[in-house]
Structure 1
Amino acid sequence: MISRLENQRPKYGFVAALVNRFSTAALGIISAHVFYLMVISSASQLDYPAKVSLYAFLSAMTLWIATKIAAGWVAVSLLVFIVLFRAGEPELLYQSLSEEIVWLMVGSFIIGEAVRQSGLATRFSDSILKYSSSKNRVLFGITTALFTSAFFIPSTSGRAALSMPMLKQLGAKFTAKEQSVLAIIAPVVILMSTSATLIGAGSHLIGIGLLEKTVGQSISFVQWLIWGVPFSLVVTFISVVIIKLMLWPKEASQEFESRQSINAALKKKPLGKNEKKTLAIIFFLMAGWVSESLHGYDIAFITVFGSVLVMLPNYGVISWKQGIKAVSWNLILFVAAATALGQVLVDNGVVSWIEKGMFGFLHLFGEAPDWLVITIILLVTVTSHLYITSHTTRAIVFIPSFILFSQSMGMNAVTAVFLCLIGMNYCITVPVSSKALLLFYEEGEISYNPKQLAKVSFVLAPIYILVMLLFYFTYWHWTGMQL
């Protein structure tokens, strides 16, 4: 009897350890929620709907990062929580599926499937592999292609959508752990390269438009290139190096199969019929995205239009069933609900409350030296993605305030707007902070862990700010930027 009990002790000891581990994690999450409740309850400037919305948003952020609960379930459940506690109408849930990002992603998945089935994805991956003898060279090829795309495709989500099928094709050459790192590297490179050009993000155009209307000044396309390209090159390189050092499996092999076998498989062949069709549609999409201000149709509509073309009966590249099957509906529901969670912060006045507090704080530094003022501005803008998930909304909310702040403090409005826009381009802490990140999150074939993303951001965010400060006091100063 005694020996039987002794034999069972390891089993019970394992169970006890498992329970203790679970209890520790659960206790930490519960403690965080109690802390949120105490802090938010004491915020007298917020009304009841705003408090409930802020609590739900913070809860979502915590559960996304600290647990393995399905992200879509968390987002939808907390939308239901907001409605149940009378902080929003049921339409908040229904209308979440009408968000622009939802339809943009539906169209992107369908077009990505057409790129894959047409053979373009294989052709692109083969062209990289042809000149690559190691995985490091493949990463360099991917980074170069993604960085260059910023000058031709004026949408981070558009660049992510077109790159996804190629990355899936290349992902077959990597292990599962390496693929999860690749799924972080790709959107981070897309986001870091955004600052290189004026057309890199819609927020740039919004910011310049507000600058022109308010103070009659602007930043030309060429001037933006002069300021933006060197900075983007540096932060992109640093980002890739840091991600690789932090996350890349140490035991992973760097070599591919022999070059002879690769070269033998990469025989040059002419474009097929479906490849030509897909290329034509991609060029149509790029033209439509670039000329948005002329025809008035937004990027999401142009993308859905392109997806309809690739599924044309008898003339398209893929069938309707193939296109719909290619859409990650799990991810679509998550994006819809998560976007609504971010929007409700704006609608219920939480963002306005945060904005007032921040700019009241900024005015305390009116007599401070330039380096301190710029540091505070960068801290505000670089962290803004944590509570305003939409890049466009961040520009609409913050740019007018920063223009007024710069005028009241006697600063150069052009410099203030440029620094703010570059600061707001940093948005890699949580998946919901960027459409490019969302496209690679929980996609299935090539996706990443949000804990790894948060870990990378913890290191990259201060480096990003330091690089901006270094550029301001050196290269940007030398090229005419003055506060």
Structure 2
Amino acid sequence: MGTEEEKFEIIENGKAGKLQIIGVAAAIGILAGIFLVPVGENFPVPARNTLGVLLAVIVLLVTEALPLGIVCLMSAAFLYFFRCTDSVQGAFSGYTNPTLFFVLASYGISSALTKVSVTRRFLLALMRRFGQNTRRLMFAIMLVTCLLSSVISNVAAAAVFIPMILEFLDAYDSPEERHRTARAYMISLPVASMIGGMMTPAGSALNVLAVSLLEKNTGQTIPFVHWMLFGIPLACAALPFAWAVCVRIFQPAPLSEEKIQAYIRRETRRMPEKMSRKEKYVLTVLLAMMVLWILSSWVPFLQIAAVTLLGLSLFFLPGKLRIMSWRDYTKSISFEAFVLMGSMISIGNCISSSGLSDWMSGILFPSSFPASPVLGIGFLCILIFLMLIPIPVAPALISMLAAPVIGFAARIGLPPALAVAALGLCANNCYLLPLDTVPLMTFTTGSYKMFDMPKATVWIQLLIVALASLWLPAMGKLLGYF
């Protein structure tokens, strides 16, 4: 007959199978139905077909009807065969974007950090300072995750701490208290990771993608330091607020200081007392990369992706300073993330070149709008968060909205760089529901239910809307964007 877990798995697989069939049928229906949609001067055939391909790809991704990598590779073929672009090179144009190589390098940097004890050592230092109770301990974990996520991918930053949290939860004797604390920690972890991703362009591939689309559509850019001035204050305000909201709503169970200190002592014994040569080397390389990233604001020659690839190569030097092997590196790479980013950039390029961006701008954005930077940024932030609900794939949303957002900004007198910054910053905070990759990592641990997350995250997103509406225009004026 099988266990209850096996029966549940069979039922869930059956539900997933039905959803996948519906997804394939819906995608086929969309691709076939686009030929029935009339075209016009403002909505030419390439724009119509690009819209159909975009919707079909989103349906396939959300329903998981086919493996993610296959959907992404297939999208390039769709762009070509449906004549969304004039050439096969245009259909694969996203795969030549430097953003993809930044993604590849970021996985290597994350792997290098896991090879040494830098992150664990930093966490334990904060735990000794804040570890008097579970609420302060949760803030320490959120703070370290946020800071780590400012220089490596959100996924990797969250992944580092999941096993640590699960091990710490074993200190609870009561299943109810363990579950309550797990829910608080596992919801706050991806939130902190995604908040940290706002802080620098290197904190998330989404930031690099947004800037690259701005450059392609306008020739303008957002220097590294400017993005930091936009994102760091928002993150500094959002993180303690997120912690306070999660603590108040989910109320992690108290644990005696004796047990917390026992955990700290156990973790301390697992690593060398002093920093090893390799730990110091990894920190030195990361600091050097950060310095070059910042200098890129004044020296365009120091392109972010190129600097990151060069820094990655330093972890493979022969001898005592070798941090990892090529096999270690290739195991750390997410091929799905690579092809997802490549396909979304390709679709974004077609949205711009086909004329679809102009049509979408007229549909999504009002024809008349107050010429107020605060109201304009606020409207954009609300729209982005609302669209993340049906389209919880942040790269797809950025690729779809970049050109229309730029057009809307031009109409209301808002600098395009500020509009694209709002797009990237909000897309980083895709956690209203645990559907994005980062919150899915903790959701699959079974620590909380689907609709537990919005009890806290909706308030965090509203705070980001308010903060971004006020901060981006103010900093934009100081930096000379107006």
TM-score by structure 2 length? 0.66
CA shift for structure 1 position 50? 2.6
> How many pairs are equivalent?
433
Equivalent of 1:59, from 40, 56, 61?
56
CA shift for structure 1 position 69? 4.2
**5+ unaligned residues in a row in structure 1: which ranges?**
1-6, 8-13, 151-155, 407-412, 432-436
User: Aligned residue for 2:263?
Assistant: 262
CA shift for structure 1 position 299? 1.5
Q: 1:322 to 1:292 in 2, by over 3 A?
A: same
Q: Does 1:173 align with 2:158?
A: no
Q: 1:48 to 1:310 in 2, by over 3 A?
A: same
1:342–1:388 contact (8 Å) kept in structure 2: no
Q: 1:234 to 1:119 in 2, by over 3 A?
A: closer
CA shift for structure 1 position 274? 0.7
Supply the distance in 1 between the matched residues of 2:316 and 2:345 (Cα, whole angstroms): 28
SS in 1 for 2:367: helix
2:186–2:442 contact (8 Å) kept in structure 1: no
SS in 2 for 1:362: coil
Supply the distance in 2 between the matched residues of 1:351 and 1:183 (Cα, whole angstroms): 35
Higher alpha-carbon deviation: 422-431 or 296-305: 422-431
Q: Does 1:144 align with 2:138?
A: no
Supply the distance in 1 between the matched residues of 2:74 and 2:155 (Cα, whole angstroms): 28
CA shift for structure 1 position 309? 0.5
1:116–1:165 contact (8 Å) kept in structure 2: no
SS in 1 for 2:84: coil
The letter for the 1-side match of 2:131 is S
CA shift for structure 1 position 283? 0.8
Supply the distance in 2 between the matched residues of 1:373 and 1:295 (Cα, whole angstroms): 30
**Cα deviations by residue, 1:99-150 (Å, 9 ceiling, x for unpaired):** 3232112212222222221222332333344343565434311332355579
Higher alpha-carbon deviation: 421-430 or 266-275: 421-430
- Aligned-residue sequence identity (percent) comes to 14
1:113–1:165 contact (8 Å) kept in structure 2: no
User: Aligned residue for 1:153?
Assistant: none
The letter for the 1-side match of 2:289 is L
Q: Does 1:281 align with 2:285?
A: yes
User: Aligned residue for 1:426?
Assistant: 426
**Cα deviations by residue, 1:445-475 (Å, 9 ceiling, x for unpaired):** 99899x999996798568735764588699x
User: Aligned residue for 1:301?
Assistant: 306
The letter for the 2-side match of 1:42 is V
Q: Does 1:337 align with 2:343?
A: yes
Supply the distance in 1 between the matched residues of 2:409 and 2:259 (Cα, whole angstroms): 56
1:292–1:298 contact (8 Å) kept in structure 2: yes
Supply the distance in 2 between the matched residues of 1:102 and 1:447 (Cα, whole angstroms): 27
Q: What is the aligned-residue RMSD (CA, Å)?
A: 5.6
2:151–2:200 contact (8 Å) kept in structure 1: no
The letter for the 2-side match of 1:261 is A
CA shift for structure 1 position 281? 0.6
Supply the distance in 1 between the matched residues of 2:235 and 2:213 (Cα, whole angstroms): 20
Q: 1:86 to 1:49 in 2, by over 3 A?
A: same
Q: Does 1:362 align with 2:367?
A: yes
User: Aligned residue for 2:106?
Assistant: 108
2:188–2:243 contact (8 Å) kept in structure 1: no
Supply the distance in 2 between the matched residues of 1:206 and 1:76 (Cα, whole angstroms): 20
SS in 2 for 1:63: helix
Q: 1:106 to 1:420 in 2, by over 3 A?
A: closer
User: Aligned residue for 2:175?
Assistant: none
Q: Does 1:132 align with 2:127?
A: no
Larger CA Rg, structure 1 vs 2:
1
User: Aligned residue for 1:123?
Assistant: 121
User: Aligned residue for 2:317?
Assistant: 312
**Cα deviations by residue, 1:301-346 (Å, 9 ceiling, x for unpaired):** 1111111100112242222332233323343333333443344323
TM-score by structure 1 length? 0.66
CA shift for structure 1 position 424? 5.0
Higher alpha-carbon deviation: 69-78 or 458-467: 458-467
1:146–1:190 contact (8 Å) kept in structure 2: yes
User: Aligned residue for 1:10?
Assistant: none
2:234–2:467 contact (8 Å) kept in structure 1: no
SS in 2 for 1:87: coil
